[in-house]
Amino acid sequence: MATAEQPALFTLEPFRVEVVRSTRRKRTVGAQLVGGVLKVAIPSWMSRAEERQWVEKMAARYRRTVSTDRIDLVTRSAALARRYDLPRPTEIRWVDDMTARWGSCSLHSRSVRLSSRLAAFPDWVIDYVIVHELAHLVEAGHGPDFWRLASRYPKAERAIGYLIAKAADATDDGDAAGHEGSD
């Protein structure tokens, strides 16, 4: 593993990872993406197991960032709103701290927030969650009128199954619980 003088280099898709152990770092772990290299700085006292956990955690965080950058949510939501005759949100953005839902919307501000975890999913699943949230701009609850709007998306049922499976995986892994639906 890495010493304070010599960084460890390895690959953790899609990054080359460089771990730097520091005697000056006492408790914090830091990471920076420089070019295609994820540089992770850790305290020198950390065990190899702790190092691996932190590297995986930081890589997951940066993977989400890289994935969210590939999707223009404003353009995507406008196209879906047009296609399925739903209102456009005033704002749509990714959020990292959403662990119990895939998406949410505010009727008051007409804004939509999507969990950055979705960015790693297929586009048709992301599109379903966007349509789901746009439908909430018309119908707040999950009654029959809401489902008529949300099911305009042709892959709605398939996407719901995908999200349920991913939620079960996350719960089994001890990651996040409660991913019952988009909101």
CATH code of residue 142: 3.30.2010.10
End-of-domain residue from the set 69, 92, 122: 69
Task: Look at residues 155, 162, 177 and name the one whose alpha carbon lies nearest to residue 118.
Answer: 162
- Tell which of 19, 38, 69 closes a domain: 69
Angstrom distance (rounded) from CA 151 to CA 86: 12
Q: Is residue 23 in a domain?
A: yes
Cβ(93)–Cβ(156) below 8 Å:
no
Backbone Cα Rg of the chain: 20
| Cα atoms in the Cβ-side hemisphere of radius 13 Å centred on 162 | 17
Q: Are residues 81 and 155 in the same domain?
A: yes
| Segment (H or E) for 112 | strand 111-115
Residue 2 lies in a domain: no
Query: Do 57 and 83 belong to one domain?
Result: no
Average pLDDT, the chain: 83
3 state SS of 40: strand
CA 120 to mean position of chain CA atoms: 7
Residue with tokens 């995507």: 76
Enclosing domain of residue 27: 8-69
pLDDT range class, residue 128, cuts 50, 70, 90? very high
Q: What Cα–Cα distance (Å) separates residue 3 from each residue in 19, 23, 45, 46, 124?
A: 9, 9, 10, 11, 45
For residue 75, what pLDDT is reported?
93
The mean pLDDT value for 64-92 works out to 88
Domain end, chosen from 49, 69, 89, is at 69
Is 176's pLDDT higher than 70?
A: no
Q: What is the pTM of this model?
A: 0.63
pLDDT at 54 over 50: yes
Q: How many structural domains compose the chain?
A: 2
Both 105 and 53 in one domain: the answer is: no
**Residue 39 shares a structural domain with residue 78:** no
Question: How confident is the model at residue 34, as a pLDDT?
Answer: 72
